[in-house]
Structure 1
Amino acid sequence: MLVLVAAVGIFRHGQAAANAAIEDAALSTGWVSEASTDDAQSGTGILLGLARDAMRDGRLVAPAGSNAFEFYLSVLQLEPANLTAHEALRESFVRASEEIERTINRKDLEEARREIDLLREFDSDNFTLALLGGKLSAARNLMTKQHEAEAERIRQARAAGS
């Protein structure tokens, strides 16, 4: 994780220097609007590459901050009409939903909540996400009941031992 943070810092520093050079050139030559477009496209290209790498590595919705869904959503923030990002998100939605269901089954409920919220950023009205939300809620209720039963068992054991 620290390596990733360092890489992002180095990348942003280099990008800031490159942006400053581009802005200087834009001001001197008068092509400011083209520089803005090129900057967005280079950021988009980098994010698309990171998203492809994450998909290849099986990081569809996890870990937080370094997964394909977050990278593609970042592309859409830069370019809301980017077809590559839209298609990739749409095509991987079912697999991402299945991955979330496995996360719920492993009882990693906070991570499942984060992943559901991530998919909702792309398609907030998706019925599958409503079902996953219901399954998550049921899993939370079951876990609460299990904790309450365990606490009661401990209380009874202490009372019997006193």
Structure 2
Amino acid sequence: MTRRSVRSFTDAPVSGELVRRMLAAGMQAPSAGNERPWQFVVVTDKARLASLAQVHAYVHFAAKAPLGIVVCADLSKARLKGYWPLDMSNCTMNILLAAHALGLGAVWTGIYPEEERISKVAEICATPEGIVPFALVVLGHPAQSPSPQDRFEAARIHDNKW
């Protein structure tokens, strides 16, 4: 209930152990048929982060972040073709929740299903054929702490039928 999107980070690097723990959480996500079609590109190189920041207008802050995780779908592992975006969403959300639990700030920036974004990120990260960049999670030690918001709306709940 306290996780919020964070887009401003300190210069402190994120340790390899914290990255491993976030990726382990991502890999723990449920997936259709237990296919687990995820692959990851961990980006710490400042020039590459700056290139990723140019992918679309809403990810400019990535240039100043210490870390980006490109969550990718490996289509060779996705036998149930229509379900891989759901699997990737579960994986990405687990990474965000893990980052928050570890005291980091993070934000999910959308890549899929925008073809132009997919191709730009694929080029920047040199992903092979059949690997689809799905999301860019930008993260680091937060330089801001957005307040929790209560987003519960009882009017959106329907008992037994609409």
After TM superposition, the score normalised by the length of structure 1 is 0.26
Name the one with the larger strand percent: 2
Name the one with the larger helix percent: 1
- More contact order relative to length (CA 8 Å, sep ≥ 6): 2
Select the structure of larger CA radius of gyration. 1
After TM superposition, the score normalised by the length of structure 2 is 0.26
